[in-house]
A = this chain, B = another copy of it.
Amino acid sequence: MKATINDVAKRAGVSMKTVSRVLNKEPNVAVTTRARVLQIAQELNYTPNFAARGLASSKSYLLALMYDDPGPTYIMEIQSGAIDVCREHGYHLVLEPVKVPKSGLAGPLIEDLEARLKRLPVDGVILTPPLSDSQIVLDVLTRLKIKYVRVGPSKNLQAIRDKETGLTVFMDDRQAAFDMTEALIKTGHKELGFIQGHPDHGSSYLRLEGFQAAINKYGLIVPTSRIVQGDYTFRSGIAAANALLSGSNTRPSAIFASNDDMAAGVVSVANRLGINVPAELSVCGFDDTPLTRKMSPQLSSVCQPIYEMGHMAAKLLLSRGDENLPSVQAVDYKLIFRGSTGRYLKDV
């Protein structure tokens, strides 16, 4: 039933090694030979044995995607992008959920990670936020000499070691937040509010920085009471919106939430308070999750090309050498304007 390399070799009248060369696209094979082998392999419906290859070459033909709950949509997109590249290279993707302990005690995590990576020695790891910023994880990977690519990291950890094994794919969160803020300002908003993301995610700080940079550029002033801490959840968006909208102070004319879930919270509070969005309040989010299109008005947001990032991440891991890719890749973002933002009527 299942043909081996030996079968192909015999039938083609060459050695197993030559067949192996053809199958692995190694150089130094005569074109005629290559063609013949390929032909025979096809006829015999031959497919290489995964385990045998791995054993002989001490490679696993496996990439791992490590994540610690950055939201299902995000993971799925990264997955899709990565899988498509894996396919092209005859690789497969395995999933490794990782639970980084909130506080201290890295010991168990380290042991667990090492155990898993030894058992299944993948050829590369894709790290998604917040793992891409976890020094603990990076250390383990470095120690085990496993190649990794950090997706959307924010901190500049391990700058030196990165040059050895670390690759990076990122989006300029700061600039994106800057652009979105600027867009808000240019449509007439002067009284802006901002909701910050989870303190553990580096992106929170970058987005805040971008916001503030735009504020400064236009000489506006945002009191600290207008910058509220959230944690990327819908609930925290509600809480933040309450603080921002129902205080006795004048309320902002636009609120920029660091992600879509929180922005949804803002819209929901505005609805409850009878504040019309966007006529009386503009709201925008970040990430352009499907949620943006499942609310009314639909939410303006910053679109991260997450699929692309997954794609690029896997590509970096698998194409080293083939092409000459720089080890740090930036991907483009896009501002998406929907119904939740508009000109601030009162003021303009």
Contact = CB atoms under 8 A, between A and B. Distances in A.
B94 A293 contact: no
Interface residues of A, number: 45
A51 B48 contact: no
A163 interface: no
A165 interface: no
A82 to B, nearest CB: 9
A25 B242 CA distance: 58
Count of identical protomers in the assembly? 2
B93 A94 contact: yes
B97 A94 contact: no
A6 to B, nearest CB: 15
A83 B97 CA distance: 8
Q: What's the dominant secondary structure at chain A's contact region?
A: helix
A79 B55 contact: no
Interface stretch (A116-124, A192-200, A218-226, A323-331): A116-124
Interface stretch (A166-174, A175-183, A264-272): A264-272
Contacts of A115: 47
A120 B50 contact: yes
A305 to B, nearest CB: 16
A4 to B, nearest CB: 12
Given A80-B97, A268-B296, A296-B271, A55 B48 contact: no
Contact of A79 (B52, B73, B83, B95): B95
A157 interface: no
A102 interface: no
A294 interface: yes
Interface string A113-143: 0010011110000000000000000000000
A29 to B, nearest CB: 22
A93 B92 contact: no
Interface string A72-105: 1101110110010000001011110100000000
Interface of A: 2, 47-55, 58, 60, 62, 72-73, 75-77, 79-80, 83, 90, 92-95, 97, 115, 118-121, 234, 261, 264-265, 268, 271-272, 290-291, 293-296
Given A49-B55, A52-B55, A268-B296, 19 more contacts: A47-B119, A48-B119, A50-B54, A50-B119, A50-B120, A51-B51, A51-B60, A55-B55, A62-B94, A72-B73, A83-B97, A93-B94, A93-B95, A234-B293, A261-B294, A265-B294, A291-B291, A291-B294, A294-B295
